[in-house]
């Protein structure tokens, strides 16, 4: 490992759940009808909110490329989690720690992908602002967990950059 590598400790079950989320995300961004999905609109926001025609023209030129990049980066993140595949989890084994090794040049795709996952999930569960949080809804736990992991990666990136 180089000094640019980030080590993200995850419980085995966390890694497996993240793989499941990535698989669902990849199905979503690679779907033929992806242009009709409101959750994906948060990943390609309006560039010209006051000019419908300019906005439509811009979306026609850029949206597919942006979503293709999201797919490519999510696949890269998923590949980085290969060490979490295949375990049959029982009891304490599910909580056993394992390291996700993130090469330095994969950090930005990780950050963008976790952010994209949160945005899509926020759209699905109706989170428009911080006040929309429902602690009784388990989907909000996933949303919060993604935010926690995202924050940890940002801190690791800041620490790495301070050393460089």
State how beta strands 97-102 and 6-11 pair: antiparallel
Question: Rounded to the nearest 5°, which phi and psi values hold at 75?
Answer: -65, -35
Burial code (b: 16+ CB inside 10 Å, e: under 16) for 105-128 equals ebbebbbbbbebbbbbbbbebebe
State the pLDDT at residue 130: 67
Q: Does residue 138 lie in a domain region?
A: yes
pTM of full prediction above 0.95 = no
Q: What range does the domain containing 103 cover?
A: 6-44+71-163
State the pLDDT at residue 90: 65
47 has a pLDDT exceeding 60? yes
Q: Does residue 81 lie in a domain region?
A: yes
Does residue 110 or residue 4 have the better pLDDT?
110
Q: Does residue 49 lie in a domain region?
A: no
Query: Where is average pLDDT lowest: 6-15, 131-140, 141-150?
Result: 131-140
Average pLDDT, rounded, for the chain:
87
163 has a pLDDT exceeding 50? yes
Q: Does residue 53 lie in a domain region?
A: no
| Model confidence pLDDT, tens digit, residues 94-112 | 788 889 999 989 999 999 9
State the pLDDT at residue 53: 94
Quote the number of domains for the chain: 1
Query: Where is average pLDDT lowest: 23-37, 54-68, 130-144, 150-164?
Result: 130-144
Q: d(Cα 89, Cα 112) in Å, to the nearest integer?
A: 29
State the pLDDT at residue 1: 47
Does residue 100 or residue 130 have the better pLDDT?
100
State the pLDDT at residue 2: 52
134 has a pLDDT exceeding 90? no
Q: Does residue 63 lie in a domain region?
A: no
Q: d(Cα 35, Cα 37) in Å, to the nearest integer?
A: 6
């Amino acid at each position: 490992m180089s000094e640019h590598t980030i080590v993200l400790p995850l419980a085995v079950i966390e890694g497996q759940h993240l793989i499941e989320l990535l698989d669902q995300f990849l199905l979503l961004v690679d779907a033929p009808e992806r242009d009709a999905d409101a959750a994906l609109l948060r990943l390609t926001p309006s560039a010209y909110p006051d000019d419908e025609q300019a906005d439509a023209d811009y979306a026609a030129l850029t949206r597919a490329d942006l979503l293709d990049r999201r797919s490519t980066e999510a696949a890269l993140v998923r590949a980085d989690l290969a060490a979490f595949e295949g375990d049959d989890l029982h009891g304490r084994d599910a909580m056993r720690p394992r390291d996700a090794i993130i090469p330095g040049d994969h950090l930005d795709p990780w950050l963008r992908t976790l952010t994209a996952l949160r945005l899509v999930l926020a759209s699905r569960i109706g989170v428009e602002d911080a006040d929309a949080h429902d602690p009784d809804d388990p989907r909000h736990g996933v949303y919060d967990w993604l935010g926690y992991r995202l924050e940890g990666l940002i801190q690791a990136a800041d620490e790495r950059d301070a050393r460089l």
